[in-house]
Structure 1
């Protein structure tokens, strides 16, 4: 088997999360901080976009103060651009917001390196959102443990 490549980053996922109001609740940042502290993910960047009552759009990076208050330090601020946030906010109703969150899946870094070292290629990745999984399990019975 080929030697494992040295990966500085694992796979990255960009989540687009819509919410009522101009910003997600503080619990969202607290959850990210807990996941970072366990090494599950690393926050790379976070951009917020909010649609005001007059229809105007406000876009901002996660502030250093908000990040620091939650125990976070985005590793690659600027990764998500203003144009990404503008696109995500298209058609968003007044009084709502959206957060674009770039997360490195730290837990998968070693696996990604070993797949590459074995000349493997990830050809597809599908994420099934938690509400769908839980709805399915609730409708059709408990999953086998």
Structure 2
């Protein structure tokens, strides 16, 4: 496991993989942590994940998959182990491990996982937004703030607004 700077500190350090350090053309970067109840559920999610990567909508900057055994022991999963009968596999992302996800990040997720589950930690660039942001930067605009609003929060707010009507 890496001893890299925890993701919680990355925003203040402008740290991205080597291939992007010389470029201002970088889309928004997100961290997504997913938990799957078992290997089948993890494998079933792969086609959608591979599709958004193949279409160039996102680019994986770091990827770690964890397994929590029934006894509570957590191990990193070899990406070749997460597959589904000839469909897209995570082994295709084997080189995506950049070290952006550090030990603190991995340990924090391991604590949250249910016994017997798998978790995927993915840092990805939103490539779809890069041309927009690059154009805005060249025009002199700067991002003052950017925040991801959880879908459940948006749905709850919309339900609350609908109830007032």
The residue number in structure 2 matching 1:12 is: 29
SS in structure 2 of the partner of residue 48 of structure 1: strand
SS in structure 2 of the partner of residue 103 of structure 1: strand
Distance in 2 between the 1:132 and 1:122 partners? 23
TM-score (norm 2): 0.64
The residue number in structure 1 matching 2:11 is: none
Q: Answer with 11-20 or 21-30: which moved more.
A: 21-30
Q: How many residues align?
A: 137
Match of 2:137 among 116, 129, 136: 116
Q: Over the residues paired in the alignment, what is the CA RMSD in angstroms?
A: 3.2
1:40-59 to 2 correspondences below 5 Å: 40-59=57-76
The residue number in structure 2 matching 1:27 is: 44
TM-score (norm 1): 0.71
SS in structure 2 of the partner of residue 70 of structure 1: coil
Q: Which has the higher helix share?
A: 2
The residue number in structure 1 matching 2:147 is: 126
Aligned partners of 2:56 and 2:127 also within 8 Å = yes
Distance in 1 between the 2:128 and 2:26 partners? 10
Unpaired stretches in structure 2, ≥5 consecutive residues: 1-22
SS in structure 1 of the partner of residue 148 of structure 2: coil
| Structure 2 CA distance for partners of 1:125 and 1:102, relative to 1, 3 Å | same
| Structure 2 CA distance for partners of 1:109 and 1:91, relative to 1, 3 Å | closer
